[in-house]
Amino acid sequence: MAISKEINDQKKYIEKIKEINKDKKLKYSILTMGCQLNENDSEKICGMLEEMGYVKTTNNDEVDLAVMNTCCVRENAEDKLFGKLGELKRLKENRGTIVAIGGCMMQEKHITDKIKESYPFVDMIFGTHTLYKFPEDLYKVIEEKNKLIDILDIDGKVFEGLPIKRDSKVKASVTIMNGCNNFCSYCIVPYVRGRERSRMPKDIIDEVTELAKKGYKEITLLGQNVNSYLRVERENNVEFEEYQGINSFATLLEAINKIDGIERIRFVSPHPKDFTDDVIDAIAKCDKVCKLIHLPLQAGSTEILKVMNRKYTKEQYLELVEKMKAKIPNLTLSTDIIVGFPGETDEDFEDTLDVVKKVCFEQVYMFIYSRRIGTPGDKMENQVPDEIKHKHFDRLKELVESQIEKNNQKYIGTIQKVLVEGKSKNNENMLTGRTDSNKVVIFEGSEDLIDKMIDLKIISEHMWYLKGVVNG
């Protein structure tokens, strides 16, 4: 894979820190909030740190470098960060731990102002566009004992070749694009992650081919707007190098589908407006693309969707679902829904329930609307009172749970292909894995099944997971 010049420069700082850290056996901890893109960024931070000689620990008392990779999509992440900072203050006083905070929340000025003012012990703040400079920034903190804030307001470039330490040996995330141009009126992402920019096809294919060679079986393609991959480039005639005929999300799926060794392809998070016919056809045609598709609804009322700037109506969403169901055999859907967006009436909320009833999602990620400073939604005057938000949330949850329970019944007695991930967190004696439709299945089996794709017969359902037995 091509390594960007900027990354080669950073490798020199990695070497310098490695030299300083020699024989010290320094330990780091990392806390990741938010989405899979952030998790993938954290894997890159871990990759850089481990090349510098740091070893990961979860034991707070021995941490020499504490990293936090933050999210700002909803308010609760802020509470979590400031709670954690209180804890880190003690560590700083006791051990002189270096404290570094990065990620989306650091792109918000009111947050960095608050940190500077109330948490002056924080050593390093880095943004989403300066992640690649982490080694250089850390070097300055260590060598010059300076506080350092390195945040770029403008859109970051795409850099190739950062080291990466992946969490799993069979499942890997591959970021294919970054940023968002949609400006949904509730969402902070376009302000903190900047405009859409795609990685070049060859770099992605090289990375996935390399992963396949290492034994990875499942690839999740990531992007804030994953199915608009290369769209901006195509529309604005920005030159890019085609590779194996890849010039769109559909052609990328087709190319990855051909890579030997890869058995499953997933992608998050798409936008309904970018599910063009070529993408739907590619999903239908590519046997490795999982047939659970995430299709964020956000709200069921056309009026609310308009104010949210989602660019589709309730009817268009339902038509898209019908079209996808007709073209893609065994399609299942998951979605994101926000309740309590400004101006949402009881009637609007009934539309959301109506769509949920009609589509019968496999999984629904439900969120209570959270005001984000700087977004149009925050400035709207008709905010919904908390008690109504919670009442609606509870009603939605009840409907979703009853549907999931009913839906789970269809699995009982079936044989499912499951990629085994490891021991179940809640029960040491059981193994856990996921179906094509991303359902968790737990079962009894020997540890050599870990990392393998196996057939399981489903014997019971328990709302959030299924139970299976090894088949044959």
Task: Give the HSE-up count for residue 235: Cα atoms under 13 Å, Cβ half-sphere.
Answer: 9
Q: Would you count residue 192 as binding ligand SF4 (CB under 6 A)?
A: no
Nearer CB in complex with ligand SF4: 7/184 = 184
Residue 224 binds ligand SF4, judged by CB under 6 A = yes
Residue 64, φ and ψ in degrees, nearest 5: -95, -25
Which among 161, 147, 200 has a CA at the least distance from the CA of 177? 200
Total of residues contacting ligand SF4 (CB under 6 A): 10
C-beta of 187: minimal distance to ligand SF4 in Å?
A: 3
Bridge partner list, 367 = 338
State which residue, 47 or 374, has the beta carbon closest to ligand 5AD: 374
Query: Closest Cα partner for 281 from 233, 232, 248?
Result: 248
Kindly state whether residue 115 participates in binding ligand SF4, applying the rule CB under 6 A.
no
Partner whose binding site includes residue 225, from ligand 5AD, ligand SF4, none (CB under 5 to 8 Å by kind): ligand SF4
Stretch that binds ligand SF4, among 41-49, 125-133, 176-184, 436-444 (CB under 6 A): 176-184
337 binds ligand SF4, rule: CB under 6 A: no
User: Which positions ≥6 away from 270 have C-beta within 8 Å?
Assistant: 225, 226, 227, 293, 294, 295, 296
Q: Which of 180, 211, 355, 456 binds ligand SF4 (CB under 6 A)?
A: 180
Taking the complex as a whole, the smallest distance from the CB of residue 99 to ligand 5AD amounts, in Å, to 27
Q: How far is CA 292 from the centre of its chain?
A: 16
Q: Which does 183 bind (CB under 5 to 8 A by kind): ligand 5AD, ligand SF4, none?
A: ligand SF4
* CA nearest neighbour of 238 among 200, 294, 212: 200
**Among ligand SF4, ligand 5AD, none, what does residue 224 contact (CB within 5–8 Å per kind)?**
ligand SF4
As a three-state string, the secondary structure of 47-83 is HHHHHCCCEECCCHHHCCEEEEEECCCCCHHHHHHHH
Please pick, from the candidates 102, 135, 161, 190, the single residue that binds ligand SF4 as defined by CB under 6 A: 190
In the complex, minimum distance from the CB of residue 228 to ligand SF4, in angstroms, rounded to a whole number: 9
Pairing of strands 148-150, 55-56: unpaired
Q: Residue 13 is which amino acid?
A: Y
Is 299 a binding residue for ligand SF4 by CB under 6 A? The answer is no
Under 8 Å between Cβ of 205 and 251: no
Partner that binds at residue 338, options ligand 5AD, ligand SF4, none, CB closer than 5 to 8 Å by kind: ligand 5AD
Distance between CA 16 and CA 452 in Å, rounded? Answer: 40
Using the rule CB under 6 A, give the single segment among 120-128, 187-195, 327-335, 388-396 that binds ligand SF4: 187-195
Binding ligand SF4 by CB under 6 A: which of 1, 8, 24, 183? 183
| Site membership for ligand SF4, residue 187 (CB under 6 A) | yes
User: Of the two residues 183 and 464, which places its CB atom closer to ligand SF4 in the complex?
Assistant: 183
Instruction: Choose among ligand SF4, ligand 5AD, none what residue 437 binds, the Cβ cut-off being 5 to 8 Å by kind.
Output: none
| Contact status: 175 vs ligand SF4 (CB under 6 A) | no
Q: Within 13 Å of residue 414, how many CA atoms lie on the same side as its CB?
A: 13
Closer to ligand SF4 at the Cβ: 190 or 445? 190
Q: At its nearest, how many Å lie between ligand SF4 and the CB of residue 308?
A: 8
Contacted entry of ligand SF4, ligand 5AD, none for residue 155, CB cut-off 5 to 8 Å set by kind: none
Check residue 182 for interaction with ligand SF4 (CB under 6 A): yes
Name 31's Cβ contacts closer than 8 Å, sequence gap at least 6: 66, 67, 68, 69, 84
Contact status: 45 vs ligand SF4 (CB under 6 A)? no
Taking CB under 6 A as the rule, does residue 437 contact ligand SF4? no
As measured in angstroms, the least distance from the Cβ of 153 to ligand SF4 is: 18
Among 104, 122, 172, 189, binds ligand SF4 (CB under 6 A): 189
Q: Is 96 exposed, middle or buried (0-12, 13-18, 19+ CB in 10 A)?
A: exposed
Q: Which of residues 255-274 bind ligand SF4 (CB under 6 A)?
A: 271
Which residues have a Cβ under 8 Å from the Cβ of 132 and sit 6 or more positions away?
Answer: 6, 7, 10, 156, 159, 162
Token pair for 110: 């009111």
Spatial contact of 220 and 253, defined as CB atoms under 8 Å apart: no
Which partner, ligand 5AD, ligand SF4, none, binds residue 372 by CB below 5 to 8 Å per kind? ligand 5AD
Residues forming the site for ligand 5AD (CB under 6 A): 73-74, 186-187, 296, 298, 336, 338, 367, 369-370, 372
Whether the Cβ atoms of residue 159 and residue 41 lie closer than 8 Å to each other? no
Using the rule CB under 6 A, is 101 a contact of ligand SF4?
no
> CA–CA separation, 204 vs 1, rounded Å?
9
Which residues share a beta bridge with 467? Answer: 442, 460
Q: In what order do the strands lie in the sheet with 218-222?
A: 171-175, 218-222, 264-268
Question: Interface with ligand SF4 by CB under 6 A: which residues?
Answer: 180, 182-184, 187, 189-190, 224-225, 271
